[in-house]
Amino acid sequence: MDVNPVLVEVERSGFVESRHRGAAIGLAADGGVAFRAGETGAPIFPRSANKPMQAVAILRGGLELGGELLALAAGSHSGEDFHVEGVEKILAGAGLGAGDLRCPESWPIDPAAQQEVARTGGGQSRLRMNCSGKHAAMLATCVTAGWPTDSYLDPGHPLQRIVREVVEELAGEPATAVGVDGCGAPLFAVSIAGVARAFRALVLAEPGTHERRVADAMRTHPQWTSGTRREERQLMDAVPGLLVKCGAEGVDAFAFADGRAGVVKIDDGAMRARTPVTVALLRALGVHDGTDRVALDELATVEVRGGDGVVGAIRPAPGVFDRTA
């Protein structure tokens, strides 16, 4: 089996001490492949990059949700107070509560929120878990459609069958494996090329369609899909019209309103490598100049620290993103 190329280098004091291999694909506005590195046709678990497709499925299942709450259902929130209030609102609208959630208990992702919860005597909870917005929306969909709520995470449940149909439809390929995500929800394996096609389909859908409603909600309310201090929110703030969603194990997926799209998968799952590669791929697709430049420069590398100072950087491997497909 071919080995994927090195996409990221970790440099410390002028010495490259670590390397991350992976695959990346970039689609042009017309849907053709503009950039390719590594194996882009092999199946992966997109992890939370599946959430926008899962959000399309809840709308197809009959749930009336929009704006900030739809963005929350399609995102991986940071566990900040406004996220928790949004999850509670989705549940209350269906006559449900936190006890109905079947995602695991968790601390907030956001360090400041985590410290505040601990300072006030709180602990881990299902509401603070980053997938609770999705779970709340799935439960509310079941209530709306008259489906059982106690088995909503079963791959054979009517809702999860719709999720699989949406993923396969938007990706343009069948799911080759079914797994269990970290939150307990079913997970469907498709290629990174398929994920890129799916994100492209979201932004190119006609206004008012389920797909476009999800894309628009996420782009309008990026703090609800991630958090006030997350890189995804910073990327969407930096590049107007950009839709981006990360997934565990080193996945990033994005699309522009004009149809350009891309996906990154880091082989070893290192999340620290994800954003520098995403910025490099954005630039390979033509995002270079304009008001976004300074903000993208700040996200293009990750500092490597030694003692009290910066002694290196996590950066895209030289030359990889200079070539086209």
Short-list 153, 132, 152, 158, CA closest to 73: 132
Q: Are 77 and 83 in contact (CB under 8 A)?
A: yes
Any domain includes 210: yes
Number of domains observed in the structure of the chain: 1
The most distant pair of C-alpha atoms in the chain lies apart, rounded to whole Å, by: 61
Note the pLDDT tens digit of each residue in 9-20: 999 999 999 999
**pLDDT digit string (tens) for 287-313?**
864 455 567 888 999 999 999 999 999
Is the residue at 281 inside a domain? Answer: no
HSE (CB half, 13 Å, CA atoms) of 141?
Answer: 28
| Residue 26 is assigned to a structural domain of this protein | no
**Does 313 fall in a domain?**
no
Provide the percentage of residues in the chain whose pLDDT is more than 70: 97
Q: Is residue 13 part of a domain?
A: no
Cβ atoms 24, 5 nearer than 8 A: no
Q: Could you tell me the pLDDT band of residue 65, with boundaries at 50, 70 and 90? A: very high
Q: Return mean pLDDT, the chain.
A: 95
pLDDT (tens digit, 9 = 90+) per residue, 2-46? 799 999 999 999 999 999 999 999 999 999 999 999 999 999 999
149: its two tokens = 């709520």
Per-residue pLDDT tens digits for 77-125: 999 999 999 999 999 999 999 999 999 999 999 999 999 999 999 999 9
Domain range spanning residue 261? 42-266
Q: Residue written as tokens 């689609």? A: 27
pLDDT computed for residue 238 by the predictor = 87
The pair of structure tokens assigned to 68 is 């900030």
What pLDDT sits at residue 287? Answer: 81
pLDDT digits (tens, 9 = 90+) for 126-140: 999 999 999 999 999
Q: Please choose, from the candidates 106, 59, 47, 85, the residue with its C-alpha nearest in 3D space to the C-alpha of residue 224.
A: 85
Residue 33, CA distances (Å) to 196, 262, 315, 322, 325 in order: 10, 10, 24, 15, 6
Q: Is 284 inside any structural domain?
A: no
pLDDT of residue 325: 58
Task: Report pLDDT for 324.
Answer: 62
31 within some domain: no
Which pLDDT belongs to residue 291? 55
Find out whether 301 and 11 touch, Cβ atoms under 8 Å. no
- For residues 131 and 125, give the distance between their C-alpha atoms in angstroms, rounded to a whole number: 12
Averaged over 209-226, what is the pLDDT?
A: 97
Comparing 65 with 237, which gets the higher pLDDT? 65
pLDDT at residue 162 is higher than 50: yes
pLDDT tens readout for residues 174-213:
999 999 999 999 999 999 999 999 999 999 999 999 999 9
Whether 115 maps to a domain, the answer reads: yes
Inform me whether the pLDDT recorded for 256 exceeds 70: yes
Single-letter code of the amino acid located at 180: V
- Work out the pLDDT band at 73, boundaries 50, 70, 90: very high
Q: What is the mean pLDDT of residues 62-73?
A: 97
Inform me whether the pLDDT recorded for 1 exceeds 60.
no
